[in-house]
Amino acid sequence: MNARRRTASAQTALVWFRRDLRLTDNPALLHALEHAERVVPVFVYSPDEDASWAPGAASRWWLHHSLVALDAGLRKIGSQLIVLKAADSLSALRDGLRKTGATLVCWNKLYEPAALKRDARVAAALDDDGVSVEQSNGALLFEPGTVLNQQSLPYRVFTPFWRTVEKLLPTLPPPSKAPRKLPPVPRGLAHVAIDDLELLPKNPWDEGLAASWTPGEIGAARQLKQFGKHVASYPTGRDRPDRVETSRLSPHLHFGEIGPRQIVAMLRHSGHGASQAKGTDSYLRQIGWREFAHHLLFHFPDTTDAPLDKRFAKQKWRRSAADLRAWQRGATGIPLVDAGMRELWRTGWMHNRIRMITASVLTKNLQIHWLQGARWFWETLVDADLANNTLGWQWVAGCGADAAPYYRIFNPVLQAKRFDPLRGYIRHWVPELARLPDRWIHQPWAAPAAVLQRAGVELDKTYPRPVLDLGESRKRALQVYSQLR
């Protein structure tokens, strides 16, 4: 934060929107309104600033629609979003400052390594220019660095981290309301149309995304309200991929269309009763995982590409373009895995349990590097999030903080029996197997020939044989992991 100039009042302030695409409980916007007479909302599209983790295709789709929604929200209250495209944010902001005469820039912090570096550079340069900078936290419950263990070190295990955070929850300020009115932006400010950012795909593969989501603050609020009604069933329902039991707020949270503080406030005040309270606690614990992931990435920035647990740095991985492709396309011949990968491709989202299972099959059974999986998720998830994705993949691969033990290798057949008991998830996403009876649909390779024939399934013709033997590959993986340890 710019200590020297932080409290200076200004005639005009720029609010630099990034991944805080909302008007409610937006601390940067609030600060600008309190300290300036005119407020100019700006979004700078500069994907090359983090070339190694630039947004993937599904994220770009979401971003387009989220920007359209934010602009519409701003227009309703008298303003608009000034969208700029630039090689670097600093030059775009300087241009904006020159054209508006603004002397204050406010933004909400991001905590990923590249964003932190960029923001430090921008803040220092603006400070040199004599411009005030105010950086706020709108993305997390508590800022990284403020939740430490008794030795003042970052937590590497989730449960004690969450115990500490839970105690701090009552200290959170209540979320602030969206402004009812904003001053108009100065006339004639140069900006580009959202369409000109070319975020949407050239070949229209996004129908499934459009049918599944409503990006933007209104969509996020609606989703939270809907989820609030059945939070009581979350602890038991959250592992059922065949039902809508989780909140599906992840892309909204990633783009900051809703903040975690709003979620805490809404759920804590949404009802009474033991099951409601239990559901809320269980759900907030998941918000805690998000918090943990962001704090970890802040403290261990190289984990986006390297294992946190250095013992795993020397792990040898298999290379198989054919197996990787079969996994990506949902054609491994293992129905639960294929269902998940197809859900991802079609909707840009996958249920958490299925993320764990598909990741386990890739990294453990197929022995393909977790980064290859992380990269595919990065390209295809609408909620692709560097902190959560890194934590998720390293957890499954067994090389991260608080990781799954090396011997935990999810068996997709047993997992299907347990978590897709009616086989509705597999039937929906792998319709070519739909007529197989429950006993065989999650393992068609084991079904008697007559059963396959009656169901119209011809292995390797209508549906592939498995790319691996689950039992053999499990044994091999256990050997590799026990040597590494």
Decide: 409 and 362 in contact? Cβ < 8 Å: no
Could you tell me the smallest distance in angstroms from the CB atom of residue 448 to ligand FAD? 35
C-alpha distances out from residue 403 to 165, 172, 197, 397, 485, Å: 20, 29, 39, 8, 13
What is the spatial distance between Cα 91 and Cα 27, in angstroms, rounded to a whole number?
24
Closest CA to 219 of 70, 5, 409, 368: 70
The nearer residue to ligand FAD, 96 or 373, going by C-beta atoms, is 373
CB of 390 to ligand FAD, least distance (A): 8
Token pair 């902001």 in the structure block, residue: 93
Q: How far is the CB of 317 from ligand FAD (least distance, A)?
A: 16
CB closer to ligand FAD out of 201 and 235: 235
Cβ nearer to ligand FAD, comparing 103 with 247:
247
Phi, psi of 368 (to 5 degrees): -100, 140
The SS3 of residue 455 is coil
Q: What is the DSSP string of 90-159?
A: HHHHHHHHHHHT--EEEEE---SHHHHHHHHHHHHHHHHHT-EEEEE--SSSS-TTSSB-TTS-B--SHH
- The nearer residue to ligand FAD, 12 or 388, going by C-beta atoms, is 388
DSSP H helices in 300-442: 321-329, 335-347, 352-360, 370-380, 386-397, 412-419, 424-429, 438-441
Smallest distance, Å, CB 411 to ligand FAD? 16
CB of 443 to ligand FAD, least distance (A): 23
**C-beta of 294: minimal distance to ligand FAD in Å?**
9
Choice between 309 and 385, CB closer to ligand FAD: 385
> Which residue number, 242 or 385, has a Cβ lying nearer to ligand FAD?
385
Phi and psi at residue 87, to the nearest 5°: -70, -35
Please report how close the Cβ of residue 159 comes to ligand FAD at its closest, in angstroms.
Answer: 14
Which residues of the chain form contacts with ligand FAD (CB under 6 A)? 238, 246-250, 253-254, 286-287, 289-290, 293, 352, 355-356, 359, 377, 381, 383-385, 388-389, 391-393, 396
For the bound state, the minimum distance from the C-beta of residue 470 to ligand FAD, rounded and expressed in Å, comes to: 19
Beta carbon nearer to ligand FAD, 41 or 279: 279
Q: For 44, list phi and psi in degrees, rounded to 5.
A: -110, 120
Here the tokens at position 99 are 């054209």
What letter represents residue 162's amino acid?
W
* Residue whose Cβ sits closest to ligand FAD: 392
Q: Is 398 or 444 the residue whose CB approaches ligand FAD more closely?
A: 398
